[in-house]
A and B are shown apart, each in its own frame.
Chain A
């Protein structure tokens, strides 16, 4: 059983790579500690810095200040090669599932095992997939077992998003960083998907940090909630202590985001799923 990775942020600051130097950082000095095996949901209005936080945790974004420690190591002090192997112990699932349209679902899922494979094993698995059982088991937990041999561009947007999540289950990652995992799912599917994700992480003792737009789901499925607003920590509380007033303050001037999920899930999901840059040529 893999054990989770412990995370500590000490006054971490980060800015988007494309942002100008004068622009305020997407993350203002932020301190946070997540113990190994803990499950945390990050909520907050659009532009609060949720994705930036995940990217900083995933070593996809170099902090512009402060320190990041993963299992008491400073990843940015490591040489490139060790940093890349440390990245193999993380699993970042972007909001838009990163699946090549012409690839088969099985290959897309098995791609998550690459950090643990040699180039030869990877090549061999490309010719005749090794680990069909593992891929099928991971997909089956998201009700996608029958899509194993399908091509990625022939399944629906919601199915693609769940394939992206199924990847986590076969990855060697000990810290799962999941960005808006439910944006293309209807409420029933969303509840199932998040239950699968949290229980799989719990079984393996993996640390899970997920950003969520759906506040109700976050409160119901995660023991600890971190609220972000304007790149700053608004609160960091057990789910039971997150009150209506706190949520109202967190989403002040963004009330529609708080309401959208319960009111019209379809509109919310289609809006959330919009930027799918898959090209069908």
Chain B
């Protein structure tokens, strides 16, 4: 070849760095595996296989007699109600916090740097959101079961607090990662913060916000199952009872209901995205 490149020019300058960081990541992974006693092969020892097999065969066939189905329907309804009420309360808390903390709606940031006081307020709200979501909903539920007694109320309150933290954080990130052009233009032309939100930021990000909220509703349904195990009512509590009585068939029925609920949430989300997108 007459016009062969100089050897230095054909070498990818990023290659060495890439190899190094891959090796570094693997080296960091190893102590993590040791720390959590990761030994997947114990699953396949003959003894353990027998136990697993017995547990799974218990599941078949799922229990479908009318009386039990009526009970499951009632508890499913309660689970959906816990999740929905929890999310609604979380929204009531998360939306004002998001509006207060979003830098995209800062009027003082329009003229260069954000003011000291608004900046401090935004940081304080960020800390509040971290506190809300860093306490697992299970712990909140245990607290509320003490306060308001066994039952769905504890579950609703637990979901509301944890999910307010998650929704507030992610809403803020969605609003700040999107294109802010329309919003800043409205603010620059003298709109108030909430007006700029309604006419600029919200239409810009409505689809993302909706699909994330529906996904969180789906998570709340799963979460309410876990909360049921500590006495917060709903399908989870029922599942806990069935497990304790080794009624695999009942557990199987309820798992199928969970799958249907998640599928429903998925369908709702994609439909909403189509409408808003």
Q: Which residues of A are interface residues toward B (Cβ below 8 A)?
A: 17, 58-62, 76, 80, 83-92, 94, 96, 98-103, 107, 111-112, 114-115, 117, 119, 122-123, 126, 171, 173, 277-279, 281
Which of B46-54, B67-75, B196-204, B255-263 lies at the interface with chain A?
B196-204
Please report whether the interface of chain A is mostly helix, strand, loop or mixed according to DSSP: loop
Complex A-B: 26 CB contacts under 8 Å:
A58-B188, A59-B111, A59-B188, A60-B111, A80-B107, A84-B192, A86-B190, A87-B188, A87-B189, A88-B189, A92-B188, A92-B189, A96-B181, A100-B199, A100-B203, A101-B204, A102-B207, A102-B276, A102-B277, A103-B182, A107-B199, A111-B191, A119-B192, A119-B195, A122-B194, A122-B195
B108 at the interface (CB under 8 A from A): yes
B13 at the interface (CB under 8 A from A): no
Assess whether B190 is in contact with A98, with CB atoms less than 8 Å apart. Answer: no
Residues 170 to 202 of chain B near chain A (Cβ within 8 Å): 178-179, 181-182, 184-192, 194-196, 198-200
Assess whether A17 is in contact with B112, with CB atoms less than 8 Å apart. Answer: yes
Assess whether B185 is in contact with A92, with CB atoms less than 8 Å apart. Answer: yes
Assess whether A91 is in contact with B189, with CB atoms less than 8 Å apart. Answer: yes
CA distance A5 to B179 in the complex (A): 31
Assess whether A90 is in contact with B107, with CB atoms less than 8 Å apart. Answer: no
Minimum Cβ distance to chain B for residue A135 (Å): 13
Assess whether A173 is in contact with B189, with CB atoms less than 8 Å apart. Answer: yes
Minimum Cβ distance to chain B for residue A90 (Å): 7
Q: Given A60-B110, A100-B203, A122-B198, are A115 and B189 also a contact pair (CB < 8 Å)?
A: yes
B206 at the interface (CB under 8 A from A): yes
Residue of B nearest to A60 (CB): B188
CA distance A100 to B194 in the complex (A): 16
Please report whether the interface of chain B is mostly helix, strand, loop or mixed according to DSSP: helix
Assess whether A123 is in contact with B185, with CB atoms less than 8 Å apart. Answer: no
Interfacial chain A residues near B199, Cβ < 8 Å: 100, 103, 107, 111, 114, 122, 126
CA distance A94 to B189 in the complex (A): 11
Interfacial chain A residues near B111, Cβ < 8 Å: 59-62, 76, 83
Q: Given A107-B199, A119-B195, are A84 and B190 also a contact pair (CB < 8 Å)?
A: yes
Residue of B nearest to A55 (CB): B188
Assess whether A99 is in contact with B182, with CB atoms less than 8 Å apart. Answer: yes
Going nearest first, the 3 A-B pairs with the smallest beta carbon separation are: A88-B190, A98-B185, A115-B190
Residue of A nearest to B185 (CB): A98
User: Considering residues A76, A83, A99, A114, which has the most beta carbons from chain B within 10 angstroms of its beta carbon?
Assistant: A114
Interfacial chain B residues near A114, Cβ < 8 Å: 186, 189-192, 195-196, 199
Interfacial chain B residues near A101, Cβ < 8 Å: 204
Assess whether A126 is in contact with B198, with CB atoms less than 8 Å apart. Answer: yes
Q: Given A62-B112, A114-B192, are A278 and B179 also a contact pair (CB < 8 Å)?
A: yes
Q: Given A62-B111, A281-B207, are A98 and B195 also a contact pair (CB < 8 Å)?
A: no
Minimum Cβ distance to chain A for residue B139 (Å): 36
Minimum Cβ distance to chain A for residue B100 (Å): 15
Minimum Cβ distance to chain B for residue A65 (Å): 14
CA distance A29 to B99 in the complex (A): 39
Interfacial chain B residues near A86, Cβ < 8 Å: 190
Assess whether A98 is in contact with B184, with CB atoms less than 8 Å apart. Answer: yes
CA distance A98 to B203 in the complex (A): 12
Assess whether B190 is in contact with A85, with CB atoms less than 8 Å apart. Answer: yes
Chain B 148-178 near chain A by CB (<8 Å), digits 1 or 0: 0000000000000000000000000000001
Residue of A nearest to B277 (CB): A281
CA distance A61 to B184 in the complex (A): 12
User: Considering residues A60, A96, A107, A278, which has the most beta carbons from chain B within 10 angstroms of its beta carbon?
Assistant: A60
Interfacial chain B residues near A281, Cβ < 8 Å: 207-208, 277
Assess whether B192 is in contact with A98, with CB atoms less than 8 Å apart. Answer: no
User: Considering residues B181, B184, B194, which has the most beta carbons from chain A within 10 angstroms of its beta carbon?
Assistant: B181
